[in-house]
Amino acid sequence: MTDLGQTKILLGAQWGDEGKGRVTDMLAATAGVIARSSGGMNAGHTVIVGDEQFELHLIPSGILHSEKKNIIANGTVVHPPSLVGEMEGLEARGLSMNNLFISDAAHVVMPYHLLLDRLEEERKGDQKIGTTKKGIGPAYTDKAARRGIRMGDLLDLEEFRTKLARNLAYTNLLLTEIYKSKPLTVESIVAEYQPFIERLRPHITDTAVMLEKARKAGEEILFEGAQGTLLDLDHGTYPFVTSSNPTAGGVCTGSGIGPTCIDSVLGVTKAYLTRVGAGPFPTELDDDLGSRLQQQGGEFGVTTGRPRRCGWFDVPIAKFAARINGLTHLALTKLDVLSGFESISICTHYLLDGETIEELPTSARLLDKLEPVYEEMPGWTEDISSARTFEELPTTAQNYVQRLEELCGVPVAIICIGPGREQAIVR
Ligand code: GDP
Ligand code: IMO
Ligand code: MG
């Protein structure tokens, strides 16, 4: 395997659901620590081991190797009832939570965040973002507005009550005056959260210190991204984004690791492109080809069950992800899904009012007007899901991968040709 170094970032190079969970599961085999540094229960990472399927939302996919340390770092937002539910679901399947650690600086997703997420989407009507309604935007809003509650605050019930009362002084105004909804009380929320706090208490710690100790001890550290580059609050297709920074820079602020400690940044990308939720998507296919990708790829959201919008691979997007994240490698997933397509299109650039555009524009207004320009490549008919070396792939599939590498300017280190743990080619 290409040496990715001691400290690796693995992240989504598209709009999420690239297969980060399954690639994390592969790389976790040699890691000492696996950490999530952004997002919350909005993520849905599927990992298939043998005939068992696991769906992870906030717990790193490394938990399937439960002897490894798994960290939910400070940049994430934690909904205690859902996290406890996720832990219990995994425990029921025989996995241990003894090595799961939660940052005391991670912000808490409160019941009113879920409520506000829904109310705000309803208020927006046809302008809605299509969020996962997991309270993510409102939780990060409170964090930025400096009225958020952190996991460490929950450890002292009086501290929790005081901070909650301060928050509710604002949030109840918002709920009653703006959204014409009912106010909430401190005691009802404390009563709801108390059993979950007790369950999580032994897991809450300073995870930045843990990461530093692990690094000094020479352990491999793997950061498992959530969401994707184009959903990044700063760099994504704003305002159709999530409220955190799932890009490489976000890993440093979201975990407390310094940028000079990062050895490699692996961008996970599908061999085509999908998006769930609203917002621009230049290579989206509204036709039979799009439905075929959706059917063959099983493109339905893990968290919300919504069908994912599908389209062809977009090189300006991949180059954008390479630039924003400083990608050192790519992991190309779902190549097997393209089997049977007579011809495969790659968007190499766009036209905007007749002018050639090579770089992905930042404005959603411009993104909506882009016309993708395609290069066609011949497809293959063979089932490639049992290939284990690059040479075992049909020549047309090899050519497709090599062409993507050439156009994106980043080497493809891993090729996934099926959802199973073993269904991958490591170069
Ligand atoms: P994540 O959010 O980035 O972890 O990705 P998701 O788990 O939401 O979506 C990826 C889906 O594709 C999951 O259902 C995976 O089991 C599946 N998957 C991942 N890699 C491959 C692959 O190479 N081939 C096929 N056919 N399915 C894959
Ligand atoms: P993983 O980690 C795909 C999308 C939502 C919506 C937008 C904002 O599985 O790749 P939010 O609830 O975050 O406020 O929603 O972001 N979104 C995702 N899309 N995969 C994800 O996570 C996503 N997490 C959020 O659909 O468009
Ligand atoms: Mg997903």
| Whether residue 227 sits in one domain with residue 138 | no
Mutate-to-test residue for ligand 1 from 132, 334, 337, highest number of ligand atoms within 8 A of CB: 334
Q: Is residue 102 part of a domain?
A: no
| Whether residue 364 sits in one domain with residue 256 | yes
Ligand 1 center from residue 416 Cα (angstroms): 9
Ligand 2 atom 3: the closest Cα is on which residue? 16
Please give the pLDDT value at position 1. 56
Please give the pLDDT value at position 33. 98
Instruction: Say which residue the tokens 């297709």 belong to.
Output: 237
Q: Write the CA distances from 101 to 55, 58, 104, 136, 211, integer angstroms.
A: 19, 12, 9, 21, 11
Please give the pLDDT value at position 189. 98
Mutate-to-test residue for ligand 2 from 242, 268, 270, 299, highest number of ligand atoms within 8 A of CB: 242
| Whether residue 373 sits in one domain with residue 229 | yes
| Whether residue 191 sits in one domain with residue 244 | no
- How many domains, in total, are found in the chain? 2
Whether 18 is in the pocket of ligand 1, judged by its Cβ within 6 Å, is yes
Ligand 3 center from residue 370 Cα (angstroms): 26
> Domain of 176?
107-203
179, 203, 227 - which closes a domain: 203
Ligand 1 center from residue 270 Cα (angstroms): 9
Ligand 2 center from residue 174 Cα (angstroms): 25
| Whether residue 151 sits in one domain with residue 26 | no
Q: Is residue 348 part of a domain?
A: yes
| Whether residue 213 sits in one domain with residue 179 | no
- By annotation, the residues acting in catalysis are 17, 45
Please give the pLDDT value at position 297. 97
Q: Which atom of ligand 1 is nearest to the CA of 417?
A: 23
Whether 24 is in the pocket of ligand 1, judged by its Cβ within 6 Å, is no
Ligand 1 atom 16: the closest Cα is on which residue? 419
d(CA 10, CA 23): 8
| Whether residue 420 sits in one domain with residue 338 | yes
Mean pLDDT, the chain cut into blocks of 10 residues (427 residues total): 88 98 97 98 96 97 95 98 98 97 98 98 96 98 98 98 98 98 98 98 98 98 98 97 98 98 98 95 96 95 87 98 98 98 98 95 90 98 97 98 98 98 96
Please give the pLDDT value at position 2. 59
Whether 12 is in the pocket of ligand 1, judged by its Cβ within 6 Å, is yes
Instruction: Give ligand 2 pocket residues (Cβ under 6 A).
Output: 12, 15-17, 42-45, 129-132, 134, 136-137, 226-228, 231, 242-243, 276-277
Q: Is residue 422 part of a domain?
A: yes
Q: Structure tokens of 143?
A: 């964090």
Whether 270 is in the pocket of ligand 1, judged by its Cβ within 6 Å, is no
Please give the pLDDT value at position 242. 98
d(CA 145, CA 318): 33
Q: Is residue 228 part of a domain?
A: yes
Q: Is residue 329 part of a domain?
A: yes
| Whether residue 297 sits in one domain with residue 218 | yes
Q: Which atom of ligand 1 is nearest to the CA of 418?
A: 24
| Whether residue 308 sits in one domain with residue 214 | yes
136, 169, 203 - which closes a domain: 203
| Whether residue 221 sits in one domain with residue 81 | yes
Q: Is residue 260 part of a domain?
A: yes
Q: What is the CATH number of the domain that holds 26?
A: 3.90.170.10
Classify each residue of 247-274 as buried b or exposed e, where b means 16 or more C-beta atoms within 10 Å of its C-beta. Answer: bbbbbbbbbbbeeeebebbbbbbbbbbb
Instruction: Say which residue the tokens 């000492």 belong to.
Output: 32
Statement: the pTM of the whole predicted model exceeds 0.95? yes
174, 203, 232 - which closes a domain: 203
d(CA 44, CA 59): 10
Q: What is the CATH number of the domain that holds 186?
A: 1.10.300.10
Q: Is residue 376 part of a domain?
A: yes
Q: Is residue 52 part of a domain?
A: yes
Whether 299 is in the pocket of ligand 1, judged by its Cβ within 6 Å, is no
d(CA 38, CA 245): 7
Please give the pLDDT value at position 302. 78
| Whether residue 281 sits in one domain with residue 252 | yes
| Whether residue 195 sits in one domain with residue 120 | yes
